[in-house]
């Protein structure tokens, strides 16, 4: 370890020197420049969006999401494969292995260089996006860049999370590049995996697939709702990276798949042991959590509105009688009750705003309510965060029945209603928030029954 | 005696179980130029890969300057410069950039780069990309890379490979000069003449095992002393059984020719006397000897 510490800085600098004339820096520059140029051009050609809350926020988000969907993972794959192929092409591994530096240092330094390049690319993207926004703001004042401020915390948070989401991809590509001594095959595998990862994320299946992590970061660009920093797919990216870095190191020092992993009882036991540790980590990270009931019934929140109301009320349908109420002070409110109020949909009223929330006895819910150009937005925290997030995002798939129900026979109609009901029930079962929190069973049962009501209502519309 | 390299019954087999290196006990004296001679496929590169820790020996049986290689990797490379098979160079970089990378990695003074470039005669090509180099230039740059840390031990695998005659002479002179500065040089080759002109000590490897190991003088004496003699004897085939009764090593090599190996020059005259005395009509004698014949005999045995 002493040798590693004493030589690692020099090994890193030497590895960095190898990048000269590889084209990686130009590729990094081009990759970081491409999407901001397109978005800036689009900004010039399109009319400004009057409903945009923050021109900088949405412009930067568009750049990050646009870049990381495909180009960023592709850039990472090319970079990692290129870094390893540098050694394969001239068989310079043997030159490196006869240097007085720790093998771990020789191995890990390539990954570190790839991580640094990945970070530089994201920073480059941010700088070019800022430049694009500044140009747009100066040339087209109606775009709103001048009036809005740059959401630094949000954009830096996203940048770091994108970077961490890239760790798994880089580690797996490193492993593949060591295993397969060619340029084309690790590239091809990486490209196929990127496309597959994008599709899996689109269909919300196989959320653990390491090549999906960057796409999931895009889907949760604004980060955690619970105040945490890394989301579960980013933590999973770290776990994948740890596993594949270990596997890659075994391959690096033992030279060959069989010698590294399966030849000899001890080697096999070691491999299985590490995979078992990873499986435990994987289970811990991917297992969704479910909020437990609280000791009291509390509803707190913050209000960001042009005109703050004096009071906030929780109303119960259908008669909208007041279940809880409390004063608003400095944009904050705190409601509580000792009554055993049943679980279900209530309405939170703050001035002219009335929004549905799922709530009940022994729940502690925090609501952040904001009204702006895009209407009212709610963010939830507390024991019913996942349930209310689901309700916020949920849109029943009743459109076909409403529009074309009259063309179906009674049997076809009832079959379609049943299919949709089952399918949406499964969707609730699969639902998780960006913080990997699942709705509680009582909500799932309640929501499945509610979907039944929604489809019965849809049936009436469709038949009439 | 202090050895720069010592191996004790070093063996290595690939997965098929075929021994590539078989109980090899090398003794490379400090300050020597040790020529590791063997035909292609004899096991030279595998041995060198083991000496540099690139192939791992199951046993602790390689010693560099008296210390176990297994226990001193990678610190042992502080004082070892190695060139294994083809020179390992980053083709997209210039010569000086290749050297700078190793200088950075080892924390060496930058002045070493110019010094080694001058030693190998590449000062003028320092800023040219390596992919534009000829094979000879790459070979010299590979040696320059090995010389960067000013090693006490140089391990060079076929450094004259692919070089033209003037390049071979340059490398030969370079090795002698480095040796005169106190460096021990372990150099492998399949060219007997090259080894004979450069080395102070010789080890001959064939089919993974060491067939001979001694100083150059001792080898020359052995090679010139021993050899083969071909007697021209009419109707050799008819007499062969009788001859083999007295000389089991002899064999028919032509219609009227019988070959007898000998260990000492004096044995040729004695053999002739015996044959003539036994009534065998000897019509001619041809003595085969010298270094090449000796080497061929050594590497043709199983």
My answer on whether A379 and A305 are in the same domain is yes
**Which site among A8, A94, A252 would you substitute to test the B interface, given the most B Cβ atoms closer than 10 Å to its Cβ?**
A94
Q: Are B236 and B133 members of one domain?
A: no
pLDDT computed for residue A158 by the predictor: 96
Q: What is the mean pLDDT of residues A317-327?
A: 88
Better-scored residue on pLDDT, A320 or B301: A320
- In our burial notation (b when 16+ CB lie closer than 10 A, e otherwise), range A44-73 reads eeeeeeeebebbbbbbbbbbbbbbbbebbb
A63-86 pLDDT, tens digit per residue, is: 999 999 999 999 999 999 999 999
Residues B208 and B277 in one domain: no
Residues B140, B32, single domain; the answer is: yes
Structurally, chain A folds into a number of domains equal to 3
> What residue ranges in A331-402 does DSSP mark as E strands?
332-337, 344-350, 353-359, 364-372, 375-382
B169: pLDDT strictly greater than 70: yes
**Cα-flanking dihedrals φ and ψ of residue B276, to 5°?**
-65, -40
User: What average pLDDT does range A303-324 have in this prediction?
Assistant: 88
Q: Which residues of A touch B12 (CB under 8 A)?
A: none
Angle, alpha carbons A273-A103-A19 (nearest 5°): 115
Chain B: give the shortest CA distance to residue A266, in Å. Answer: 15
HSE of A464, CA atoms in CB hemisphere, 13 A: 6
Mutate to test the interface with A, among B83, B105, B129 (most CBs of A within 10 A): B105
In this structure, what token pair is assigned to residue B133? 């180099």
Shared-domain flag, residues B148 and B11: yes
Three-state secondary structure call for residue B96: helix
**Inside any domain, residue A450:** yes
Mutate to test the interface with B, among A17, A102, A267 (most CBs of B within 10 A): A17
Q: Is the dihedral of CA A83, A171, A88, B104 positive or negative?
A: positive
CATH number of the structural domain spanning residue B286: 3.30.70.980
**Does A367 map to a domain?**
yes
- Sequence length of chain B is 302
Residues A254 and A388 in one domain: no
Chain B positions contacting chain A at CB under 8 Å are 15, 49, 52-54, 74-78, 80, 82, 84-86, 88-93, 97, 100-102, 104-107, 129, 145
Residue A98 to residue B92, Cβ atoms within 8 A: no
pLDDT at A462: 52
Count CB atoms within 10 A of the CB of residue A264.
11
A19 shares its domain with A63? yes
Mark out chain A residues that contact chain B at CB-CB < 8 A. Answer: 3, 7, 10-11, 13-14, 17-18, 20-22, 86, 89-95, 97-103, 258
Q: What is the mean pLDDT of residues B209-232?
A: 86
Determine the Cα–Cα distance for residues B258 and B253; give it in Å rounded to an integer. Answer: 6
Of B188, B209, B207, which Cα lies nearest the Cα of B37? Answer: B188
Shared domain check, A275 and A304: no
Does residue A272 fall inside a structural domain? yes
A10/B104 Cβ within 8 A: yes
Min Cα–Cα distance to chain A from B201, Å: 25
Residue A344, phi then psi, degrees to nearest 5: 165, -170
Query: How much is the pLDDT for B165?
Result: 86
β partners of residue B187: B35, B156
Do A78 and A134 share a domain, yes or no?
yes
State whether A149 and A281 are in the same domain. Answer: yes
Average pLDDT over residues A266-288: 91
pLDDT in tens, A24-41: 999 999 999 999 999 999
B234-238 average pLDDT score: 87
Bridge partners, B68 (sequence order): B63
Count of A–B CB contacts within 8 Å? 79
A17 inside domain: yes
Rounded Cα gap, residues B70 and B66, in angstroms: 12
What digits encode the pLDDT tens for the residues B13-65?
Answer: 877 778 899 999 999 999 999 999 998 889 999 999 999 998 888 889 999 99
Average pLDDT of chain B? 89
Contacts of B67 in chain A (CB under 8 A): none
Task: Give the chain B residue whose CA is nearest to the CA of A9.
Answer: B105
The whole-number average pLDDT for the span A282-295 is 87
Closest CA to B95 of B115, B69, B113, B80: B113
Quote the pLDDT of residue A393.
85
Is there a single domain that holds both residue A211 and residue A349? no
Phi, psi of A335 (to 5 degrees): -115, 145
Distance CA B81, CA B95 (A): 17
> Which tokens hold the place of A335?
């409601």
Residue A372 φ/ψ, nearest 5 degrees: -155, -160
Looking at the predicted structure, is the pLDDT value of residue A463 above 60? no
Give the pLDDT score at A459: 65
Residues B159 and B231 in one domain: no
Q: Does residue A261 share a domain with residue A321?
A: no
Pair B240, B194 in one domain? no
Q: What is the SS3 assignment for A195?
A: helix
B93–chain A nearest CA distance, Å: 7
Contact B168, B116 (CB under 8 A): no
Nearest to A3 among B75, B85, B101 (CB): B75
Q: Does the residue A291 lie in any domain?
A: no
B243 shares its domain with B119: no
Say whether both B38 and B177 belong to one domain.
yes
A99 to chain B, minimum CA–CA distance in Å?
Answer: 6
* pLDDT of amino acid A185: 96
User: Is A292 part of any domain?
Assistant: no
Confidence of residue A461 (pLDDT cuts 50, 70, 90): low
Q: Does residue B301 have a pLDDT over 70? A: no
Taking residues A101-115, report their average pLDDT.
Answer: 96
Residue in A14, A21, A101 nearest the CB of B101 = A14
A17, A21, A91 ranked by CB distance to B104: nearest: A17
The string of pLDDT tens digits covering residues A130-144 is: 999 999 999 988 888
Task: Tell me how close the Cα of A159 comes to any Cα of chain B, in angstroms.
Answer: 32
A49/A41 Cα distance (integer angstroms) = 15
Residue B292 has a pLDDT of 76
Q: Is A331 helix (H, G, I), strand (E, B) or coil?
A: coil
Is residue B92 a contact partner of residue B131, using CB atoms and an 8 Å limit? yes
Which residues of B are less than 8 Å from A91 in CB distance?
A: 85-86, 88
User: Of A160, A17, A177, A212, whose CA–CA distance to A88 is shortest?
Assistant: A177
Domain of A370 in residue numbering reads as 297-393
Average pLDDT (A31-60) is 88
Nearest CB partner across the interface for B104, out of A13, A22, A93: A13
Determine the distance in angstroms separating the CA of B172 from the nearest CA of chain A, rounded to an integer.
23
- CB within 8 Å: A92 and B82: no
- pLDDT exceeds cutoff 60 at A306: yes
In a domain, A235, yes or no: yes
For chain A, percent of residues with pLDDT exceeding 90? 56
Share above pLDDT 70 across residues of chain A, in percent, rounded to a whole number: 98
Domain count, chain B: 2
Residues A82 and A129 placed together within one structural domain of the fold: yes
Is B53 in contact with A10 (Cβ distance < 8 A)? no
Residue A278 lies in a domain: yes
**Tokens matching residue B11:** 């063996």
- Supply A145's token pair: 């860049």
Q: Are residues A219 and A114 in the same domain?
A: yes
- pLDDT for residue B235: 86
What pLDDT sits at residue A180?
A: 95
CA atoms of A152 and A135, how far apart (whole Å): 18
CA distance A27 to chain B (A): 16
Domain boundary among the residues A286, A314, A341 is at A286
Domain identity same for A375 and A459: no
Range of the domain at B203: 3-216
Same domain, residue pair B21 and B113: yes
Q: Shortest Cα distance from A245 to chain B (angstroms)?
A: 21
pLDDT digits (tens, 9 = 90+) for B78-118: 999 999 988 899 999 999 999 999 999 999 999 999 999 99
By Cβ distance, the residue of A3, A22, A103 closest to B92 is A22
Does B89 lie in the same domain as B52?
yes
pLDDT score at B171: 87
Mean pLDDT computed over A112-128: 97
Query: What mean pLDDT is predicted for residues A160-183?
Result: 97
The pLDDT, as a whole number, for residue A87 is 94
Are A389 and A416 in a shared domain? no
Q: Reply yes or no on whether the pLDDT at A345 is more than 60.
A: yes
Residue A12: closest C-alpha in chain B: B105
Q: Whose CA is closest to A108, among A292, A252, A230?
A: A252
Contact assignment for B76 to A100 by CB distance below 8 Å? yes
Among A361, A393, A425, give the residue marking a domain's end.
Answer: A393
Per residue in B195-205, pLDDT (tens digit) is 888 999 999 99
Report how far residue A59's alpha carbon sits from residue A65's, in angstroms, rounded to the nearest whole number: 10
CATH of the domain at A315: 2.60.40
Residue B140 has pLDDT above 60, yes or no: yes
Check pLDDT > 90 for residue A61: yes
pLDDT of residue A460: 65
Contact at CB, A100 and B74, closer than 8 angstroms = yes
Same domain membership, residue B185 and residue B112: yes
The partner residue sitting opposite A18, judged by closest CB among B49, B77, B101, is B101
Summarised one tens digit per residue, pLDDT across range A180-192 is 999 999 999 999 9
End-to-end CA, chain B: 31
Among A393, A409, A434, the domain boundary falls at: A393
B56 and B165 fall within a common domain: yes
| CATH code, domain carrying B209 | 3.40.50.300
């Amino acid at each position: 370890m002493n040798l590693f510490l004493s030589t690692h800085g020099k090994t890193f600098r030497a590895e960095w020197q190898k990048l000269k004339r590889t084209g990686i820096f130009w590729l990094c520059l081009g990759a970081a420049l491409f999407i901001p140029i397109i978005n800036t051009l689009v900004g010039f050609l399109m009319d400004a969006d009057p409903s945009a809350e923050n021109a900088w926020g949405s412009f930067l988000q568009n750049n990050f999401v646009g870049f990381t969907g495909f180009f960023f993972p592709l850039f990472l794959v090319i970079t990692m494969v290129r870094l390893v192929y540098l050694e394969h092409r001239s068989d310079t591994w043997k030159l490196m292995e006869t240097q007085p530096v720790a093998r771990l240092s020789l191995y890990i330094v390539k990954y570190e260089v790839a991580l640094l390049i990945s970070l530089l690319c994201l920073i480059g993207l941010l700088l070019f996006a800022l430049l694009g926004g500044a140009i747009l703001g100066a040339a087209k004042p109606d775009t709103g860049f001048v009036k809005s401020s740059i959401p630094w915390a949000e954009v830096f948070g996203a940048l770091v999370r994108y970077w961490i989401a890239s760790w798994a991809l880089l580690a797996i590509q490193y492993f593949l590049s060591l295993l397969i001594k060619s340029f084309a095959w690790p590239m091809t595998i990486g490209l196929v995996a990127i496309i597959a990862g994008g599709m899996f994320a689109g269909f919300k299946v196989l959320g653990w697939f390491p090549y999906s992590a960057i796409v999931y970061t895009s889907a949760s660009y604004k980060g955690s709702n619970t105040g945490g920093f890394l989301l579960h797919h980013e933590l999973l990216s770290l776990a994948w990276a740890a596993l594949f870095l270990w596997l890659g190191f075994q391959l690096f020092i033992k030279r060959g798949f069989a010698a590294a992993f399966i030849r000899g009882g001890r080697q096999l036991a070691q491999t299985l042991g590490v995979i078992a540790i990873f499986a435990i980590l994987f289970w811990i990270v991917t297992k969704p959590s479910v909020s437990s009931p609280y000791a009291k019934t509390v509803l707190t929140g913050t209000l960001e509105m042009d005109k703050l109301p004096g009071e906030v009320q929780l109303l119960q349908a259908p008669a909208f009688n007041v279940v809880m109420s409390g004063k608003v002070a400095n944009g904050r409110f705190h409601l509580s009750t000792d009554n055993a109020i049943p679980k279900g949909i209530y309405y939170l009223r703050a001035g002219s705003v009335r929004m549905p929330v799922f709530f009940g006895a022994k729940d502690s819910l925090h609501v952040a309510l904001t009204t702006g150009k895009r209407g009212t937005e709610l963010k939830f925290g507390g024991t019913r965060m996942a349930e209310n997030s689901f309700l916020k995002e949920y849109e029943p798939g009743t459109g076909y029945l409403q529009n074309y129900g009259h063309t179906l026979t009674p049997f076809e109609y009832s079959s379609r209603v049943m299919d949709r009901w089952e399918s949406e029930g499964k969707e609730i079962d699969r639902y998780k928030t960006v913080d990997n929190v699942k709705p509680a069973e009582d909500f799932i049962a309640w929501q499945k029954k509610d979907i039944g009501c929604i489809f019965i209502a849809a049936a009436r519309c469709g038949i009439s | 005696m202090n050895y720069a390299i010592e191996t004790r019954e070093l063996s290595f087999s690939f997965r098929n179980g075929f021994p590539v290196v078989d109980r090899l006990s090398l003794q490379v004296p400090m300050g020597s130029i040790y020529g590791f001679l063997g035909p292609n496929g004899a096991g030279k590169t595998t041995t060198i890969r083991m000496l540099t820790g690139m192939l791992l020996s199951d046993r602790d049986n390689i010693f560099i300057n008296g210390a176990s290689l297994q226990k001193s990797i990678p610190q042992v490379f502080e004082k070892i410069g190695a060139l294994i098979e083809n020179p390992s160079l980053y083709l997209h970089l210039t010569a000086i950039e290749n050297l700078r990378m190793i200088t950075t990695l080892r924390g060496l003074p930058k002045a070493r780069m110019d010094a080694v470039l001058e030693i190998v005669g590449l000062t003028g090509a320092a800023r040219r990309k390596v992919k534009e180099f000829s094979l000879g230039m790459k070979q010299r740059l590979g040696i320059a890379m090995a010389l960067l840390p000013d090693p006490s031990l140089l391990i060079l695998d076929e450094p004259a490979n692919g070089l033209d005659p003037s390049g071979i002479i340059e490398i030969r002179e370079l090795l002698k000069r480095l040796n005169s500065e106190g460096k021990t040089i372990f150099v492998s080759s399949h060219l007997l003449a090259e080894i004979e002109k450069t080395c102070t000590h010789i080890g001959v490897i064939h089919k993974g095992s060491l067939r001979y190991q001694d100083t150059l003088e001792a080898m020359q004496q052995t090679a010139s002393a021993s050899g083969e003699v071909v007697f021209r004897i009419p109707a050799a085939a008819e007499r062969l059984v009788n001859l083999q009764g007295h000389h089991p090593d002899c064999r028919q090599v032509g219609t009227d020719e019988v070959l007898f190996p000998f260990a000492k020059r004096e044995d040729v005259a004695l053999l002739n006397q015996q044959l003539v005395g036994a009534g065998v009509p000897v019509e001619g004698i041809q003595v085969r000897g010298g270094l090449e014949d000796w080497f061929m005999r050594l590497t043709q045995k199983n």
